[in-house]
Amino acid sequence: MSAFEKALPAEGLVKSAQNPAKTYEAAPRDRLFLFFTAAFCVLLTDTLIWHGPTAGLTAAVFAWYVLVLCYTGTAPLSLRSNRVLLLFNLFLAAAMALGSNWYFRLWNLMALLVLLPVHALALSGAAQLPWWRPMMLWERFLLLLRGLFCHLGAVPAAAAAGKSRDRRRVLPLAAGAVCALVLLAFLIPILASADALFAAATADLRRFMQAHFSTALWKLIWGLVLTPFLFGLLYSLRHPVPLKARNGEKQPAADALGFAMVLAALDALYLLFLAIQSAGLFGGADYLAQRGISYAEWARSGFFQMVGVTAVNLTAVMAALSFSRQEGRCWTAVRLLAALLALESLVLLASAAWRMTLYVSAYGLSFKRCMTYWGMVMMALFLLAALRKVQRPDRSFCRLAFPLALAGWLVINCVPVDYLVAKDQVDRYLAGESAAIDVEYLLYDLSYDTLSQLERLDGGLACWDRNGGQRRLDTLILNRRISACRECADWHTWSLSACLAAGQSS
């Protein structure tokens, strides 16, 4: 035994002997899916890295599900929750090819980056926590990290699968070819800059490579870099290993008296707030004028703050219901005070919606105001779910909240928000209810859905373009339609909205 081995603890040697190097089960089928994974990584690189986060990921999402379901099987889709989330993710991917609003494209991308791994790990069976437990997000995040970074050895195992000696040489052959192409693409321009005669001799070759292979080669390199990580994740989905469960873990519970005091203070505060605010709601402009406040100023302030306050109240209600010890009179008081706080929050939302409506009646719709309406509706639904939790403390709040959130996001993706905003603004301007119209906002900040409404205005209207110059409105609309034509010419940025806008330009 060497001096280094003598210095190690005996138990360390035992553990080393009991934990041999990780072995991977691989078959010729794995080698085929390794190739498909590399192709998918090139597609993902081409779409996400080269065309930005707001590019349409429809093809990539559909290709991901084909890859996952063909590799792991479709048996997990027998569960209704897995089927529902599959349909939801496919709808979000399709929505990115229907609309051209970059806000929705970015938000849908962020949602898919969370939901696709969550769904894939649910399909694998490695996740032990049910979907309505909030801690399942942390569990699946850990499973995702383990799948991405702890199964890199699955790539050489899959590449070497099979008994044929020629098949085992496929990976070295492919790696050598890629390395050779990378070195040639790197060294030829350097040698051309070092010698004019070599530069003249290879001018045609370098132009050909730059025109056809430079971008494609970098996409291939990035795709191959991502392949081991993604194939390791796929391997972990097919060979699921759950995380170690914590035995005897209990839900933490505290004395309900402290939560009752917090809820009582909030209830008293909001009762006072609502009493004062009702004077403004029912007193009208004359009452506000006596207080030195203009009616327009009062109407356009506060609704965003009320939405934020309602979110804080919902958090307080759920914390009290989830962490209070469910026994005695204090627990009964917590339930009553939580119900009162939820009802007060609904009244606050109604007040905020009323003030928002007053503001919209004066200034018209905007994308932000429409999304604020949607946020108020979703907060109201969550508060109703909290009241259900008060009534049935044994039921999970997230079991209602998660489906409501998904359904609400589906609905807002189906609503033509930009079209409605443009129609409202143009109608108000043509009816004389508004002295001015923000054409630049409707033209550039929103999607192509606004163009059909802007064409109702006088085409000779002078407007500012993005370069700071003044141009006719019909010219700016034509330029936007030409931009839509360019987007439709590339499948990465194609959308039905841009296609319809481009079709009207001809």
What's the confidence (pLDDT) of residue 401? 93
C-alpha torsion 105→107→113→115, nearest 10: -110
| Mean pLDDT score, 137-152 | 92
What's the confidence (pLDDT) of residue 248? 47
| Residue 36 pLDDT greater than 90, yes or no | yes
What's the confidence (pLDDT) of residue 252? 64
Smallest CA-to-CA distance from 237 within 161, 148, 153 is with 148
| Mean pLDDT score, 306-334 | 87
CA distance 415 to 81: 25
What's the confidence (pLDDT) of residue 12? 42
| Residue 13 pLDDT greater than 50, yes or no | no
| Mean pLDDT score, 437-444 | 91
| Residue 268 pLDDT greater than 60, yes or no | yes
CA distance 426 to 324: 53
| Residue 89 pLDDT greater than 70, yes or no | yes
CA distance 449 to 500: 9
| Residue 54 pLDDT greater than 80, yes or no | no
What's the confidence (pLDDT) of residue 353? 86
The three-class DSSP label of residue 431 is coil
Nearest 5 degrees, angle CA 22-CA 23-CA 28? 150
What's the confidence (pLDDT) of residue 17? 39
Higher pLDDT, 54 or 83: 83
**Model pTM?**
0.82
Q: pLDDT digit string (tens) for 158-202?
A: 877 765 555 556 666 666 776 777 777 777 778 877 777 777 777
